[in-house]
Amino acid sequence: MSIAQNIQKIRRDIPDGVTLVVVSKYHPQQALMEAYECGERVFGESRVQEMAQKHELLPKDIEWHMIGHLQTNKVKYIAPFVALIHSVDSLELLMQIDKQGAKFGRVIDCLLQLHVAAEESKFGLALGQAARLLSSEEFAVLRNVRIRGVMGMGTHTDDMDRVKADFAAIKGEFDALKSEFFTEADYFDTISMGMSGDFQLAINEGSTMVRIGTTIFGEREK
Ligand SMILES: *Cc1c(COP(=O)(O)O)cnc(C)c1O
């Protein structure tokens, strides 16, 4: 099936109010343009250089989302244009994003990446760490970042009960953070969870943003 047909099919399964992030990492410009011609405007990339390059070459009304691990020293390359950073996993990174946001006169939207999956992962905030970050004095003075919600991934397994429990944990953490820190903030509204293999389950568990690559473009060549 073509990219256009894949998108059409997926769109039928995504309710209004859930944002589709078209994950275009490793795919060439031409593939992104096919998705663009279908009306897609939100694209997710995981590498800084690749995203900056694509931003340079492709239409300017695309919203670029950083979904991969972000090193503090690379924030400056995407700070002028990035629409949402899904992968904030430390106070240090958030402070750097704030600094670069100030430099470019922007408030940069961010999600806190939570680590709930069973795998040992290097990335993501363990439950409790996100609350600690948001309670810190360092966070309180940041003016050029805005926390829009959370991002998370389910365990990489065929055991869908396990994945469902992971998504429920992410939603639970979102609700807890909302009631502790963002009761007055209607911008804290985003739960980014669900990929090609599990996005329907994620939507059932409360996802408001799904990140889909393989089902749209086919396998990635690295
Ligand atoms: C690559 C990636 C995706 C997309 O995964 P698919 O299985 O290709 O849909 C989603 N989220 C993150 C964080 C990714 O790195």
Residue 154, CA distances (Å) to 39, 97, 158, 159, 160 in order: 28, 26, 11, 10, 9
Q: Does residue 190's CB lie within 6 angstroms of at least one atom of ligand 1?
A: no
Is the CB of residue 95 less than 8 Å from the CB of residue 73? no
Beta strands 190-192 and 108-114 are unpaired
- Mean local confidence (pLDDT), 213-219: 96
Q: Dihedral sign for Cα 150, 155, 157, 158, please.
A: negative
> What's the CA-to-centroid distance between 69 and ligand 1, angstroms?
12
195: Cβ below 6 Å to ligand 1? Answer: yes
Confidence category of residue 118, pLDDT binned at 50, 70, 90: confident
The best mutation among 43, 195, 201 to test binding of ligand 1, ranked by most ligand atoms within 8 Å of the C-beta, falls on 195
- Mean pLDDT within 51-64: 98
Q: Is the CB of 214 under 6 A from ligand 1?
A: yes
Q: Alpha-carbon dihedral of residues 164, 170, 173, 174, nearest 10 degrees?
A: -120
Instruction: Give 135 Cα–ligand 1 centroid separation in angstroms.
Output: 30
Average pLDDT, stretch 73-98?
A: 98
Q: Assess contact for 138 and 148: CB atoms under 8 A.
A: no
pLDDT digits (tens, 9 = 90+) for 153-170: 999 899 999 999 999 999
- Say whether pLDDT at 119 is over 90: no
- 145-153 mean pLDDT: 98
Give the tens place of pLDDT for each residue, 28-44: 999 999 999 999 999 99
| Pocket flag, ligand 1, residue 211 (CB < 6 Å) | yes
Band (pLDDT 50/70/90 cuts) for residue 117 is confident
Residue 6, pLDDT above cutoff 90: yes
